[in-house]
Structure 1
Amino acid sequence: MERIVSLSKGVMEPLLGKLTNLMGAEYANMSVVRQRVSFLKHELCAMNAVLDKMDLVDDLDPSAKDWMGQVREMAYDIDDCVGDFMAQIGDISAEQGFVLKVTRYLRTLWARREIAVQIKELKARAIEVSERRLRYMVSDDKGSSSSLVSDNIQLAIDPRVMAHYQGAALLVGIDAQRAELTNLLMDSEDKLKVVSIVGLGGVGKTTLAKIVYDDIKGDFDCKVFVSVSQQPDLRSLLSGIHVQLGIEENSHSSEINVLIDCIKKKLTNKRYIILIDDLWDQPAWDIIRCAFPENNKRCRVMITTRLKDVACWACCNCYHNIYSMQPLNYAEARILFFNRVFGSENDHTSHFELEKVTTEILKKCGGLPLAITAVANILATCPARLSDWMNINNSMSLQFATNPSLEGMKQILGMSYKHLPRHLRPCLLFLGLYPEDWVVERDVLIHEWIAEGLVSDIHLGQLCLENVAKKYFNELVNRNLLQPVRTEHGEVLSCKVHDIMLDLILTKCAENDFITVAHNYEDIERLHQYKVRRLSLRLRDGGTTLERIPETISESLAHVRSLAWFKISAYTPNLSLFKYLRVLIIYAGTGDTVDLTAISVLFQLRYLRVSTPEDARVGFPNKIRELVNLETFHIHGDKTSVIPSDIFLLPRLLHLMVPHEARLPKGIGKMKALHTLCGFKFSLKDIESLAELTNLRILKLCYIANFDIGTAGVDALVSSLEKLINLKYLAVDGRTGRNGPLWIKDEDNRLHALSDPPTHIEVLKLEYWMLYRIPNWIGVLMCLRCLTLHVNMMPAEDVYLLGRLPSLVELHLFVVHIPVDKIVEVGAGLFPVLEILQIENEHGNAMTFLRSETGSMPKLQQLFLLLPRGEWRGTTPVGMEHLLSLKGMYAIWNRSSGQCLREARAAFSKAIDLHPGHPSFTILYCPLVSNGYLFATFGSPLV
């Protein structure tokens, strides 16, 4: 069985730090324990040095692999022992008085003896493991050493990767297929048509389908894009369709037939397009298909599948086409390969000696873009040396070229894993906790990595752990092991894993006992065979209710460090079994009740995230003060939860995020360590307490319809902002009530008088905070990337103030009063990096407010404008032809007449025809609010 060295090191390096702490002066009176701990530390350091050498060896003999497995399990057990020690003994402070020290010593005497015995046993075990290596001559220098593994990581996303996922690279060889598929879907046939795209895994089916879907979806009233996994949860899938169609929350149900009926009702008189990605079997389609009515409105359904039989069957009951997607030819494959390795096909010309080996590599990739990109990613991270390219070529199997298969693709992707730096391997495998097609937020993932101890402090330098984790994340994206989903300004904010890569991850997890996945109670029963370290529960209802976990299984679960729990089941284990749990992730289903009353005994817990639909409920214990290691408390969805009142006593809590409707416990000012605070109903006293949270980086506040912040609240908030010197993200949002949004009344222009703003702030969103004009202090925010403001007026000098901000890439402005004849010229050099501009005015004359001159806004890609509520004045943005990077124009409609819409479309179409880049044009519909103010939230494109 293959054992991966870095998976041992994932626990080894944090453990060595803990052992060092146990040897400190505060434990000086525990001499025997300290001696044994010292021995363990030195023994593990020696083993760690051997592991470092073994990590560079490609092929190890079985005895070496077995020895590494023993080291890994021993390291986990020592880590658990240290956890027990800290739970029973606790932190010892040198400042404690004599009486308190004696009392504490007597109270913990038995625990100390018990720990001493455990450490003695672990010492003997360490000696035996070391002797076994010598006895069987386990070698660390057999096999070939990989020269491509590098520990170098970079903070930024590689722009070639962004181009890849924005279509620039994958459009190689796809233009003809794109046009052909578009013609199939957009013909004049009124009857419902299903087009099945069939092809090998990794051939680019989803990429092609998504590009065409994005091209044509604006011509449909309703559009849905859903992914189907190999083991689909049809209730969740249909509920996801509900969400995308905007079906009211009260129509949600756990019954499949009710979900289908609601979808059919919504689509009955609509022209719709549905993209169903990665369909695996006929029964799933048989159920999904029932939701799509035939209404003779030229509706279309696209399906992607690897299985031709499924494609044929899926289309047999309606007007259909089967579109077979073929691999790239050699010329196309060559362009894609060199674009990824060198950034351009032509940039490799100085390396003519690579041509022959390139031909052999591409032949072995079989023309599949996923395989080509995987190999190119490895070579892109190293110098262009013939020897390295030959090593890659020699390790590839020629069989895949003539007989492409899932296993062959996994073998090629396995090379990407094999050449991954050792500190990144456990981070990648951690994604195995999540189901297929799951979208994972970057910041969520990096907090989970940190809580699990997967982020090494050897890369800290001048960075904090979160920035190191972001570097890890970006490196996995740069190597195309994670696929970007949501991006902003060159940053990837969420990702998913290709299903073939996920198969490989789960294979590696199983080989190394890294993650165990349980789909049913039978899977749980098998857990007694070994110690489970990470568990992903994806249990479905049905079967016999589990009344009691067998003792053998309980012992296995006791060692789980991370638990990801998807939907609550009748036979889900009790949380109190997970003694060493560090990371708890729960995604509840519709109507679920999440019982968290047992978490108060989980001393090791560092990360808690619970995400629920609005009709699910979460039950907390009354007290959680024993969770002294908790760093992240994140509750999303449930509106009725009562947050434990003693949460402010948690000394290590860094991230506190709860729904806006939750009430903030008293004592928020005592949470000095907080980096993130989001949500809560807050009072004036809470606002005043914010000034004490000087370590805050992210602050998101929401005021709701039953609370008016008032003048005193504005004063307190502004005063607090002056003290939050580390703040990087500030959002103050208003919830819309029956009478429209709730505005912050800053009648005395208190925010303008802010004397010492947080100069490191990168995102500032003040929605429904009406300002008289742009505050002057915004001009000193050199790091500001995203700005959202409402202002009463905007003179030219305020435009110039914003235009000189060097980092501003996204600007959303609502200007109440703009004179009809007012024009501000935006000259060259202003808004140098701005990519997105949204400017609104109730009367619609924001379109002519700014005149773009040559050289202004050189990077602007998207421009959003609000159509007038009255008649169309026939104007379009002045100087639009100077915005050379413009890719998309969006006109926002709320109360405009039909005549206004027709005239606007004609005028904008003419203006776009004159633009050198011919950007796209879309009219977006916004739901109405009573006072007409619309901001930063758009609905579906209007046909």
Structure 2
Amino acid sequence: MAEIAVAFALGQVFQILNDETNLLGGIHKDFSNIRDELESIQAFLKDADRKAADEANTNHGIRTWVKQVREASFRIEDIIDEYLRVIHVVPHLGCEASICKITSLIKTSISRHQIATKIQDIKLSISVIKERSERYKFQPSQEPPSSSSTRMGSLFIEETEIVGFKLPRDELVGWLLKGTEERTVISVVGMGGLGKTTLAKHVFDSEKVKGHFDYRACITVSQSYSVRGLFIEMIKQFCREAKDPLPEMLHEMDEKSLISEARQYLQHKRIIITTRMMHVAEFFKKSFPVHILSLQLLPPDKAWELFCKKAFRFELHGQCPALLEGMSNEIVRKCKGLPLAIVAIGGLLSTKSKTVFEWQKVNQNLNLELQRNAHLTSITKILSLSYDDLPYYLKPCILYFGIYPQDYSINHNRLTRQWIAEGFVQSDGRRTSEQIADEYLSELIYRSLVQVSTVGFEGKVKSCQVHDILHEMIVRKLKDLCFCHFVHGGDESATSGTTRRLSVDISSNNVLKSTNYTHIRAIHVFGKGGLLELFTGLLSSKSRVLKVLDLHGTSLNYISGNLGNLFHLRYLNLRGTKVQVLPKSLGKLQNLETLDIRDTLVHELPSEINMLKKLRHLLAFHRNYEARYSLLGFTTGVLMEKGIKNLTSLLKLCYVEVDHGGIDLIQEMKFLWQLSKLGLRRVRREYGNAICASVVEMKHLESLDITAIGEDEIIDLNPISSLPQLQRLKLKTRLEKMPNWISKLEFLVEIRLGLSNLKDDLLRSVENLPNLLKLGIWDNAYGGEILHFQSGGFPKLKELYLARLNRVNSVLIDKGSLLSLEYFIIAKIPHLKKLSSGIKALDNLKVIDFRDMSTELVESIDPKKGQDYEIINHVPQVLIRHWIGPKLNDFDIRSIH
């Protein structure tokens, strides 16, 4: 972790040397010297970090040295942030310029002198640290030791102990015994502890496979492997199997000769590899056929079977006694289907007395047992291998999952924006920080460290989490590395000066008052309770380097007026709180990149927000789930003043109620040319031309949402010439005709129309869009009686929503239409009494959801007496909902299937 700290400190030093051309006299040279010293230290840090983290290493001097390097790096970050705050100080709003100038000059002079003194102190301490490193003889960039010992046990598991592998085993054997006569790679991919090696060895030893191949080799590749060593071992095994003599001078051969020898045996053969990294499996695709088996966590029944096999293997006939069932089920649930955890914990319990007291003790202290019990340390060792193998820039990203509570599914955008705010992600000049952060997350998923929780209809990750046992390992690392301090309801411990982050699960005022905020860079509060208003006021007055403040879903009622003191704040999340007003001092947050006030009570933004030139994400709306649905009343945006043209860094802006600022406000939006998402509400007819003129300047726009001020307001959007990157389009307004440019949107994946009152041209204008996956026709978007899906139309559509169409009495689906449809929702179409027989041909349909539909239609699909039941008989899930109020989602639900 010292390696990470130094890397970030170096990054900041490089940044300030590049950006700040007018550094104080002498400071430029001091920072240059610090950079040089850090670079020389950095070469040895991987080896030093490894030795410090090795529990078997009792050399406390090494751990102390690594700790000192980390703390020096933290001090460098702090001093750079303090320097930037001083030289970019913003005068207090509303005071006289001359007074401000004199006061600021005095304060700045004192602060700069203090900064210069601190820099000299840091230079001296780093020099001492560098000299001290020589006595420990660190090796530059040395790889971690072999991990083969932690995997060796997987090669010797008896067949009777294997559970849940029948289907993947049969699939692997099928791939091995069938197929074309060319070299083929079969990859078994999954997170550490899933049993990849066990499965592969089980297949390797099966009689079917033995009888099919002339020779076989089983090789374990450690993290510290050598290519020569692998080839030599492979050739030895092949020769033994084929009863061939070993090649002469085998150990003296160069790599080219070894490859030639191995190729003789591998030509037209099958190869199985197991890996935690999906990109390793996909790498071989460029050379020959590849089969990929993604091994999954065990389902509950198989997890229980495996647990009982291990815990009661030699007694009680392998069955769990009734008095231990409840406790055992709880333990198995904590393992979350991870075979390694189930086997290890079951093995531990097999050595314990079969009493509730003994098992409860293990269950309650499972986290502690993972650290100290010899039966369980193999779990954390194997999971740690994946962490140790990460490049330095991904390590803080995976550690960030530990800040969130266990089993917490984290929104993709929330997580990556926090990484960016913390400085974990650096733009390369070609791609945005958001795009690079997405790649970081993808890499963690490909490495099987992060699990995808939910996926959007277009295949993009919406939320993710880590396995609970991996979470435990991460939390221990967070504490050891001073990455994060955890504050619980009864925890009175104050933070140390090296703590960089706080994770607060229940707001405890005593703890928050005792905290030293000077060095805190990120604060995350979870749950409700506590007087957070006092906390935010105290934080704003004391914190100097805070970059992330996440109060999502807390009981916060208002924000302190001195919020603007948090000069370095980059990410502010108030979503789901009861905050009603943002203070004017918000305009002093010159580094703010994300402001999330969704589902708060804020309806008007202070004009000072237009001073935030680095703001990238302005997310501001409230949705009313407490009442029955109303298209125009469900979502409320915010009011903004003119001056929005200054926010030239904005990427996302939603939703603005534009009737407040009018045409002048809309015309200013043409300067927001970087926007990728724009949401406008309460749009009037006379704004049409101004909207079109501004939108066409947004060459990167991917999402556009426009809602009229009234149901009969006609907005003409036809003047828009082209939106080449548009992926999502939502129009809730009357349209005289469908805009011509919509049918040319080749990247469009979603379109939702409401109130448009269009006739025959509605479906014809969008049915041939090549990438359309989701279509919503809502609230009288269609003014005809027959909605006709013709053959060949909507070839890729996965989700179809038809809702509140008062004139429609027939929905026709021709054979050959909607061939990819998976989800079909039909809601409150009062005159629709009968279903189209074309639904029978929709072979991919998974769900039909009927909401507030007529009694005649519901009775027609009744399994016992409905004449049209055969139309939906093939659909796995058919739901019937009736709204019972008063809230939006208060439905009475029954399932036919």
2:700 and 2:444 map into 1 onto residues whose CA distance is: 28
CA distance in 2, matches of 1:514, 1:744: 56
Select 2:442's aligned residue among 463, 474, 477: 474
**Cα drift, residue 433 of structure 1:** 2.2
Q: Which amino acid aligns with 1:14?
A: G
What is the CA-CA distance between 1:511 and the residue it aligns to? Answer: 1.2
Once the two structures are TM-superposed, the CA of residue 843 in structure 1 deviates from its matched residue by 4.8
Match of 1:689, as an amino acid?
A: E
Distance 1:721 1:937 in 2: 34
Cα gap change, 1:714 to 1:142, in 2 (>3 Å): closer
What residue number does 1:848 align with? 811
For 1:641 and 1:585, the matched residues in 2 are separated by 20
CA contact (8 A) 2:637 2:681 kept: no
Quote the residue 2:654 is aligned against: 678
Is 1:124 the counterpart of 2:154? The answer is: no
Query: What is aligned with 1:390?
Result: none
Q: Summarize the Cα distance change of 1:353–1:112 in structure 2 as closer, same or farther, 3 Å threshold.
A: closer
Per mean C-alpha deviation after superposition, the further-off stretch among 510-519 and 63-72 is 63-72
For 1:686 and 1:344, how far apart are their aligned partners in 2?
65
Counterpart of 1:439 in structure 2 is 409
The answer to which of 674-683 and 128-137 deviates more is 674-683
Instruction: Please state whether the residue corresponding to 2:790 is helix, strand or coil.
Output: strand
Matched, 1:650 2:648: no
Aligned equivalents of 2:818 and 2:850: distance in 1? 19
Cα distance change on mapping 1:816 and 1:382 into 2, 3 Å: closer
CA positional deviation for 1:345: 12
Q: Secondary structure at the match of 1:428?
A: helix
Hey, what's the Cα distance between the residues in 2 that align with 1:478 and 1:356? 15
Q: Partner residue of 1:83? A: 81
Query: How far apart, in 1, do the equivalents of 2:177 and 2:423 lie?
Result: 41
- Work out whether residues 560 and 578 of structure 1, in 8 Å CA contact, stay in contact via their aligned partners in 2: yes
Query: Structure 2: 5+ residue runs without aligned partners?
Result: 91-99, 149-158, 189-194, 204-272, 285-339, 350-365, 371-375, 622-635
Aligned to 2:649, the other structure's residue is in SS state: coil
Q: In structure 1, what is the equivalent of residue 741 of structure 2?
A: 777
Greater Cα offset, 881-890 or 56-65 = 56-65
Say yes or no: does 1:599 pair with 2:563: yes
Shift of 1:938: 9.5
Equivalent of 2:347 in 402, 418, 427: 402
Matches of 1:822 and 1:785, distance apart in 2: 21
- Give a deviation string over 1:460-493, Cα, whole Å, max 9, x none: 4732110111112223334443333332121111
Following the alignment from structure 1 to structure 2, what is the Cα–Cα distance between the partners of residues 713 and 766? 15
Show the counterpart of 2:819: 858
1:401 is displaced (CA, Å) by 6.9
How far, CA to CA, are the matches of 2:582 and 2:84 in structure 1?
A: 24
Contact 1:634 1:657 in 2 (8 A): yes
Cα distance change on mapping 1:745 and 1:871 into 2, 3 Å = closer
For 1:561, give the aligned amino acid. R
Between the aligned partners of 2:454 and 2:342, the Cα distance in structure 1 is 35
| CA contact 2:484–2:503 (8 Å) conserved in 1 | yes
- Alpha-carbon distance, 1:639 to partner: 1.2
Q: Partner of 1:526 in structure 2? A: 494
Matches within 5 A, 1:612-631: 612-613=576-577, 616-617=578-579, 620-631=582-593
Q: In structure 1, how many angstroms separate the alpha carbons of the residues matched to 2:811 and 2:462?
A: 34
SS in 2 for 1:852: coil
Does residue 26 of the first structure (1) align with residue 7 of the second (2)? Answer: no
Partner SS, residue 526 of structure 1? coil
Partner of 2:628: none
* Counterpart amino acid of residue 877 in structure 2: S
The AA in structure 2 aligned to 1:643 is L
Q: How large is the Cα RMSD of the aligned pairs?
A: 4.4
Helix, strand or coil: the match of 1:486?
Answer: strand
Is 1:358 aligned to residue 198 of structure 2? yes
* Residues 604-753 of structure 1 mapped to structure 2, 5 A cutoff: 604-613=568-577, 616-617=578-579, 620-640=582-602, 643-659=605-621, 660=636, 662-682=638-658, 683=660, 684=662, 685-703=664-682, 709-733=683-707, 742-743=710-711, 745-746=713-714, 750-751=716-717, 753=718
| Aligned equivalent of 2:162, options 327, 330, 353 | 330
Q: Distance in 2 between matches of 1:539 and 1:403?
A: 33
SS in 2 for 1:617: coil
Equivalent residue for 1:565? 525
Alpha-carbon distance in structure 2 between the residues aligned to 1:419 and 1:908: 62
- What's 2:477 paired with? 508
Distance 1:810 1:114, change over 3 A: same
Letter in 1 for 2:520: V
The 2-side partners of 1:137 and 1:861 are apart by 62
Deviation at 1:730, TM superposition (A): 1.5
Asked if structure 2 preserves the Cα contact closer than 8 Å seen for 1:651 and 1:673, the reply is: yes
Residues 19 and 356 (structure 1), Cα distance of their counterparts in 2 relative to 1, 3 Å cut: closer
Q: Look up the SS of the partner of 1:848 in the other structure.
A: strand
Inter-partner Cα distance in structure 2 for 1:328 and 1:765: 57
Q: Match for residue 581 of structure 1? A: 546
SS in 2 for 1:474: helix
Q: 1:398 to 1:537 in 2, by over 3 A?
A: closer
Cα distance in 2 between the residues matched to 1:750 and 1:352: 56
The alignment of Structure 1 onto Structure 2 pairs a total of residues equal to 690
Give the AA of the match of 1:852: K
TM-score, length-scaled by structure 2: 0.68
- Percent identical among aligned pairs is 22
1:19/1:41 contact within 8 Å kept: no
Q: Does 1:886 align with 2:821?
A: no
Which residue is 2:41 aligned to? 47
Cα distance change on mapping 1:438 and 1:399 into 2, 3 Å: closer
Number of the residue aligned with 2:632: none
Looking at structure 2, the residues matched to 867 and 328 of structure 1 have their Cα atoms a distance apart, in angstroms, of 56
Provide the residue aligned with 2:31 in structure 1.
37
Return the alpha-carbon distance in structure 2 between the equivalents of residues 436 and 398 of structure 1: 21
How far did residue 437 of structure 1 move? 3.5
Distance 1:339 1:535 in 2: 47
Aligned to 1:835: 798
Counterpart residue identity of residue 650, structure 2: L
Runs (5+) with no aligned partner, structure 1: 93-99, 149-326, 364-374, 386-394, 704-708, 736-741, 930-935
> C-alpha displacement at 1:124, in angstroms?
0.9
* CA distance in structure 2 between the aligned counterparts of 1:836 and 1:628, rounded to whole angstroms: 42
1:539 to 506, 531, 555: 506
Higher relative contact order (CA 8 A, sep 6+): 1
- From the superposition, tell whether residues 513 and 103 of structure 1 become closer, same or farther in structure 2 (CA, over 3 Å): closer
Partners of 1:7 and 1:426 within 8 A in 2:
yes
Task: Report deviation, 1:866.
Answer: 4.2
Distance 1:670 1:821, change over 3 A: closer
Amino acid paired to 2:506: L
**How many angstroms does 1:818 deviate by?**
5.9
